[in-house]
Amino acid sequence: MHQSDTLVKRPLFRKPYILQKFPELVAAESTRHGGVSTGPYASLNLGGSQDLPENILANNHIFFGELNVPFEQVAKSHQVHGTDIEVVTEPGRFEGFDALITNVVGIHVAVTVADCTPILIYDPVSGAVAAIHAGWRGTVGKIVEKTIAAMRENYGTEPQNCLGYVGTCIDECTFEVGDDVARHFADEYKRWDANRGKFFVNLKAANSDQLVNSGVRIGNIEISPYSTVTHNQDYFSHRFENGITGRLLATIGRIA
């Protein structure tokens, strides 16, 4: 049999290596594979879009079922590209928050993305976790730094104890922006391309540095090697797919 004739099984999710050493923790980032959606949402669409609601719900049950997490224990929010943070004490659906934090065992916080940066944080001392959605507005609004400050305020988190994962998003070589966006970023996070007359922005570096600036040790940070654009066969990309696509999901929580 030729290699082209064999079916390659694509992963339904990937787990951050840096967080796998904690047996009490579930942390994962979805791919676009293994769901029931069709067309531009094929197949594991986990967020709001023009896809059928029943497909999105079924996909969520598939994804969290593979992680052995009851979907009823998940906390999500309708994200608005802001910097507001919700302190979660029970699972459910929230409105208007781009970061969720909790120290409650059994609650799994989650954010959806399709080019924006997901960031997962774990404090193994206090048991607190965070899931952050950082688009360019949230990034320049320093949502990562604000989230760690909220973890300190609510749970006594010391940043040097934390581990952080900067997840799959649009990469620097494809995040082309005009001056209206680029002017909000420091020089070290943007590159001018004279041929295209555009800037290119590095969201992963900007959010990783916010972890460091908050006191997280560099050795406690993992950055995804994947891109929603250049690895579009495995991930949804709002920009690459012209706005008609599904949503990925990143989640973290302690096992009940």
Domain of 174, in residue numbers? 13-254
* Cα–Cα distance measured from residue 179 to residue 199, given in angstroms and rounded to the nearest whole number: 7
Cα gap 54→60, rounded to integer Å = 10
Domain-located, residue 127: yes
Q: Does residue 7 carry a pLDDT above 90? A: no
Would residue 106 count as lying in a domain? yes
* Cβ 247 vs Cβ 49: under 8 Å: yes
Question: Is there a cis peptide before residue 126, judged by omega within 30 degrees of 0?
Answer: no
In a domain, 3, yes or no: no
d(CA 12, CA 165): 18
Tens digits of residue pLDDT in 188-243: 999 999 999 999 999 999 999 999 999 999 999 999 999 999 999 999 999 999 99
pTM of the model: 0.96
Residue 2 has pLDDT above 80, yes or no: no
pLDDT of residue 8: 52
φ, ψ for residue 29, nearest 5 deg: -130, 130
> Does 19 fall in a domain?
yes
Q: Which residue has the tokens 């608005």?
A: 80
DSSP string across 141-186:
TTHHHHHHHHHHHHH---GGG-EEEE--B--TTT-EE-HHHHTTS-
The answer to whether position 6 is within a domain reads no
Q: What does the pLDDT look like over 135-150, one tens digit per residue? A: 999 999 999 999 999 9
Q: How many domains does the chain have?
A: 1
Going by the DSSP 8-state scheme, the letter that residue 11 receives in this structure is P
Q: What is the C-alpha separation between 116 and 237, in angstroms, rounded?
A: 9
Rounded mean pLDDT, 2-14: 63
pLDDT at 256: 80
Q: Mind listing the pLDDT tens digit for each residue in 38-85? A: 999 999 999 977 899 999 999 999 999 999 999 999 999 999 999 999
Pairing of strands 13-14, 190-193: unpaired
- Number of helices and strands (H, E) in the chain? 5, 15
Examine the pLDDT at 95 and tell me if it is beyond 90: yes
155: domain CATH number is 3.60.140.10
pLDDT digits (tens, 9 = 90+) for 165-196: 999 999 999 999 999 999 999 999 999 999 99
Q: Specify if 2 maps to a domain.
A: no
Report DSSP letters for 43-107, one per residue: S---S-SSS-HHHHHHHHHHHHHHTT--GGGEEEEE--SS--EEE-SS-EEEES-SEEEE--TT-
